[in-house]
């Protein structure tokens, strides 16, 4: 129980920091005196969409922590929640592609082609999380099937 409380606190602190950062980014763009590039507005929109999807994932993780407290983690409900997280991480990965024009523009302005590679590295992080969740979902599916088989034999 205390481990899940610590995880919940950590989870909501991360959400709070993400909301704070996205709010500060929005205020900075809105109150900018000079004309910002259209890429900055696209990047801000992408970031806000990613933050909202991440908050949705945090709510699902909160539900999963509740299932851990009830000792009901190896159920079909968990599989459904993991499937939802899988779809959301894929959505974040696809939406994050909208950041690429910002990296290309910055690389062009500073004559630093390495920024494009850096951008590709940053954009591969949500896809890596998607792959990890896919593997976790498959493992959980096998665990649920084993638990069902054990219940049938008993």
Q: Taking a C-beta distance cutoff of 8 angstroms, is the pair 45, 98 a contact? A: yes
Among 29-38, 87-96, 116-125, the minimum mean pLDDT is found in 29-38
Q: What is the mean pLDDT of the chain?
A: 88
Instruction: From 135, 132, 143, select the one nearest 75 (Cα to Cα).
Output: 143
Q: In 70-96, where does DSSP find H-type helix?
A: 76-95
Domain-wise residue ranges, the chain = 2-153
Percentage of residues in the chain having pLDDT higher than 90: 49
Backbone angles phi, psi at 98, to 5 degrees: -65, -15
Q: Give the pLDDT confidence of 55-106 residue by residue, as tens digits.
A: 999 999 999 999 999 988 888 999 999 999 999 999 999 998 888 888 888 8
d(CA 96, CA 91): 8
């Amino acid at each position: 129980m205390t481990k899940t409380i610590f995880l919940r606190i950590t989870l909501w602190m991360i959400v709070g920091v993400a909301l704070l950062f996205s709010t500060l980014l929005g205020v900075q763009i809105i109150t900018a005196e000079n004309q910002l590039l259209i890429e900055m507005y696209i990047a801000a929109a992408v970031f806000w969409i990613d933050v909202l999807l991440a908050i949705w994932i945090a709510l699902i993780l909160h539900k999963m922590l509740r299932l851990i407290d009830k000792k009901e983690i190896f159920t079909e409900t968990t599989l459904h929640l993991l499937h939802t997280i899988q779809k959301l991480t894929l959505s974040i990965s696809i939406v994050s592609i909208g950041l690429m024009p910002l990296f290309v523009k910055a690389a062009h302005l500073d004559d630093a082609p390495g920024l494009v590679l850096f951008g590709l590295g940053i954009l591969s992080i949500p896809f890596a999380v998607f792959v990890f969740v896919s593997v976790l979902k498959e493992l959980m599916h096998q665990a649920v099937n084993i638990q069902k088989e054990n219940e049938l034999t008993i």
